[in-house]
Structures are given as C-alpha cells and as structure tokens.
Structure 1
Amino acid sequence: MDELTRQSLPPGNYLLLLGASICVFNSNNAFIIENNLRTSLCTKSWYELIELNSGRLKPHIAETISNKAGSTDIADLFDEVIDMRNRIVHSFQITVENGNQMLATKARRTHEQFRVTEDYLREFIEKNERLSGLLHSFRGY
C-alpha cells in the first residue's frame, strides 16, 4: 500500500474486511431495490429508489417487501446493517495501542470511542450474508 499513499493505513487484512464490508452492503442495497421493484406494490422507479439514502428506503420496504412477505425480517435486518454501516462510513481513524490504524466512532450518549474492529467488520459481513439469503428467498431462488 505504500505505493498508493504516504498516509497511514490500517493493516492489509483490516483493509480487505473494510472493502468487503462496503461491497456486500452496496450489493444488498441494490438487491433491496431490485426486490422492491419486482413487487406489484412498488410505485417508484429504479431512478427514484437508487437516489435515496439507504435509511430512506425503509418506508418503501415496509409497503412492498414486508407487506408481500407478511414479515418485517428483511426490513429489520436491513435496518440493523444500515446502523452498522453508518458506524463504518461515519468513522474517524485512530492509532491503537500496538501502533496500528483502525476506525472508530463516538459512542452515542457516552462520548467514548467505539472501535470498528475486525470482529465488527466480520459480523457486519455475516449479517449482510444473512440479508442476502433472505432477499434471495423472497425473490424465489
């Protein structure tokens, strides 16, 4: 990574997990929109939905996917991964005790740092995998 930038970066495995995290979330965000459009209940176009922030998709998921599925499982899990994604995206970089770089955010209400660890990134990727499975099941394959 030294050839890309002189700025301090987290170790390679952390960067790999971070990149994977962004990709799996983006994939699910697009898959949510695709599933939404495939329902007969959707009144929006792809262009309208893709321009929305992920959190603003919630009412559209409720009136289409959750309504048709008869369950809020997909909406609830998507909401959870949005919150986790927000921690990743709206983070700042810190130097930890061993001198490595990682991301952190301010914990709500306590103002302490919440560290975006490799375990957190793995959990995020796993939840996105579950969400993808639910979306595939909803879609019918």
Structure 2
Amino acid sequence: ETATKEEGNDEEEKHLSAKERKQLKARRKKQRQREKELQREAEIAEELKNAGPSKRDTEIKIMNELYLSPNNLTIMEIPADGHCLYRAVAFQCGEGGGDAKGAVDYTSMRSKCADALVANPSEYSPFAEFDHSKNITTYEYSPF
C-alpha cells in the first residue's frame, strides 16, 4: 500500500514545477516530523501513566493533607513565561484578577516595582549588579 502511495506521489511530482516539488517535499517532511512528535508525546504519556505518581505529586498531596487544606490554602500554578515573578506577587497582593495567569495586572505590578526602584535607588542599588570598579551616577542608574 505504501509503495502504491509513493508511486502515485511520483506521478504527481512529475507534473509539478521545481518550486512546487520543493514545497511538497517540505510539507511531507513537516508532516513526518509532526507524526514523530505526536508519537513521542504518546510514548511519554504512556510512560508517565505506567510510572505511577511522581515525587512531586506525592509531595503536593502530603502538603495538601497536612498543611494547606486545614488552613484553607491552595497551590496556584503560575506559568513560567518571563512575567511569573510579577504574576505571583500580583496574585498574592490580590491584583491577579482571580487567576494565576493574571494577564492584566502583572503589568501594573511590574510598573509599580519599576517606579519603586527609580524612586528609591539607594534602597535597591546594593542589590543591583554593577561594575563596582566605578561609581554609578544617577544617569547610569535611571535606565534600570
């Protein structure tokens, strides 16, 4: 059956221009890569299913039972996207919009942090990474 498909594909390719053959070849390659990726994901899912609970799952279950549930607390998953620190702080401050993604309010938290850094450079400059062999002027600090 596969040989028949390939023969049919060869017949199709004979009628195509060089550019079209190249595009067809690229599409087929992408399709094969997608199929491989889907197969690999299925294999990983099967391995995880057969492996039982992970150490992380066990740890979270125990934390929930012993500490979180009795105190009416939960663990919020914050997506690691470059804004996760600001999303987490905004969520803890009640500005996260009710979900861990906090799509709207991480920007306001980032702005508040930047404003605080600029307004109080002496408070934060000991924690900034500068070349300590030279004195940092206000002008050099301001872009941060």
Shorter-normalised TM range: under 0.3
Q: TM-score, normalised on structure 2?
A: 0.24
TM-score computed with the length of structure 1 as normaliser: 0.25
Larger Rg: 1 or 2? 2
**RCO higher in structure (CA 8 A, sep ≥6):** 1
More helix by share: 2
Higher strand residue share = 1
